[in-house]
Chains A and B, each alone.
Chain A
Amino acid sequence: MTSIILLSVFGILNLFLGFMKSKKALLPLVLLFLLVVLGATVYDWGQNKTFFNNMLAVDNYTVGFTAVMVLSTIFILPFSRRYVVGEEANLAEYYSLLIFSLVGGVMMVGYENLLMLFLGIEIMSIPMYVLAGADKRNILSNEAAMKYFLMGSFFTGVILFGMALIYGATGHFYLVDIANVANNIDPNMAPLLLMGILLVLIGITFKIGAAPFHFWTPDVYEGTPTLFTGYMSTVVKTAGIAAFYKLMNVAFPAVYQEWFPTVVAITVLTLLVGNIGAVAQTSMKRMLAYSSISHAGYLMIALTAFNDRSENAILFYSLAYGVATIAAFGVLKYVADERGSDDYSSFNGLGKTNPLLAFVMTVSMLSLAGIPLTGGFFGKLFLFSAALEKDMLWLIVVAVLMSAVGIYYYFRVIIAMYMREPVGARVAVDPFAAFTLISLVVLTVLMGVVPGLFSDLL
């Protein structure tokens, strides 16, 4: 709750900071402020409070996911130093929009009422529509903004219709009350409730970019300026999966048998589409988009497992995936800016020209592929062990096979960096971004060596 207030106030203040002559102070100020928010968030640890007539809750679940999202944003922002699209004029506005979007994310993990879920989704999405089109004169960015906006508002309508049906069937918007009514639902109302759950499920599946509603992801990720793609694929996805799990866990455990087959089907389909789609790509950015689809599939394994290990597994995986993805997008941004293309070939010989960038990219690719000694390995391990507890061995087999496919396309980048001849000069990286990249690597390795630090928080 403190984080929502702080973020909203600072977002507005930050707009005024845009009037300053010197834009150099902007980034340190925003980072300093986000660190304050992170502190205020973590300070709420271990307390159970509710706000706004119990519509928003602050508990460990909320605090954990809020901290992951704020931390991800802190790691993304340093790459904006040489700015997203070349002109520095609107930097303050972009920071503000990111912060406002973060407010929506916090609401999405803390909601106790469907109204707050809806507001959270919208507050998070509307700034992202703008940021997808941040590169105003670039037709690709325009197209990404348009596609994201039309699809996003369409699926908002679907979510809303679902919520209206749930309200019609149960007469409540509060998750706890819905759960009570759903426990012994009037048979006449049951179809209404199930239809409502299905529609809300479809809408949230769209937001986290899981198949079969993933079709927007590659296009939007490719057209959006890389900085904001990094944000979309980490913070937006974390908020989406946290909201999804909370909805199913608090409101609809009673009708588990009904929604379980749908969620399993979506999980398997997402794993297949994400991993097999990524193999066919020649553009690194599109590969990362498909990889983010496949990671949505891994995260949904915890949802299908649906036991007391799921929350921790989702939290750990979100952090491990977020850290590795941000590092990958950070390196991609610098390489693509310098060499003018985000194809695999622009990474050729990076190991010779920029050993640091190549090393960071290697570690993050290893983590995404789930190789031991990185955070991604334990992330997958926790997800799979949660599923194993539910005796879903076949699902784990599918997921492991798909991870093997993943190794193929993640290693293509590593091979390009170390085995091919350089295609261009050294890529310039400012020291602060280099420092951020190194801390991301340290965090990834730390999660892979002592996972106990992060694994049993909730």
Chain B
Amino acid sequence: MNEIPEVIRTIPLNLYLYFSTALFIIGVIGVLTRRNAIIIFMCVELMLNSVNLLLTAFSAYRSDPNGQIFVFFIMAVAAAEVAVGLAIIVMIYRNLRTTDINFLNKLKW
């Protein structure tokens, strides 16, 4: 990776930055406002994917493969997290017959 590919350079770097930040913020807003555990979880994945995009963009512009290697690790870890997360959601569904987090209010001060 010595030269930045022409295709990537047609879009300036700060546009990638704005786009990823927008995606990330959409994810954050989704986590804060939605009430269904699965949708919250999807919003978290959106946040992770915005990070992947940002890392790839920085990596391509700097002609430095490290950022793209990082993306692979994020994907692998996100997959592990999905496995655990869906299992927890299934466990909740078996006990409560719902995945709405408003029903999770037994622990409160």
Contact = CB atoms under 8 A, between A and B. Distances in A.
A199 to B, nearest CB: 10
A200 to B, nearest CB: 12
Given A122-B80, A158-B47, A168-B58, 14 more contacts: A122-B81, A126-B81, A129-B88, A142-B96, A143-B107, A144-B107, A146-B37, A149-B88, A150-B41, A153-B41, A157-B44, A164-B51, A167-B70, A173-B70
A129 B41 CA distance: 14
B84 interface: yes
Nearest to A116: B73
B89 A157 contact: no
A46 B17 CA distance: 44
B26 interface: no
**Ordered nearest first, which 3 A-B pairs have the shortest CB separation?**
A157-B47, A219-B107, A168-B58
Contact of B104 (A146, A163, A165, A281): A146
A156 B80 CA distance: 13
Interface of B: 17, 20, 24, 27-28, 31, 37, 40-41, 44, 47-48, 50-51, 54-55, 58-59, 62, 64, 66-67, 69-70, 73-74, 77, 80-81, 84-85, 87-89, 91-92, 95-96, 101, 104, 106-109
Contact of B89 (A146, A156, A165, A173): A146
A136 B96 CA distance: 12
A24 interface: no
Contacts of B20: 164
20 contacts: A115-B69, A119-B73, A126-B80, A126-B81, A130-B87, A140-B107, A142-B91, A145-B88, A146-B37, A146-B88, A149-B85, A150-B40, A157-B27, A157-B48, A164-B51, A164-B54, A164-B55, A167-B58, A172-B66, A286-B109
Contacts of A173: 66, 70
A147 interface: yes
Interface residues of A, number: 43
Interface of A is mostly: helix
Contacts of B73: 115, 118-119
B21 to A, nearest CB: 8
Interface of A: 115, 118-119, 122, 126, 129-130, 133, 136-137, 139-140, 142-147, 149-150, 153-154, 156-158, 160-161, 163-165, 167-168, 171-173, 218-219, 222-223, 277, 280-281, 286
B88 A157 contact: no
A150 B51 contact: no
B78 to A, nearest CB: 9
A149 B58 contact: no
B54 A168 contact: yes
B109 A146 contact: no
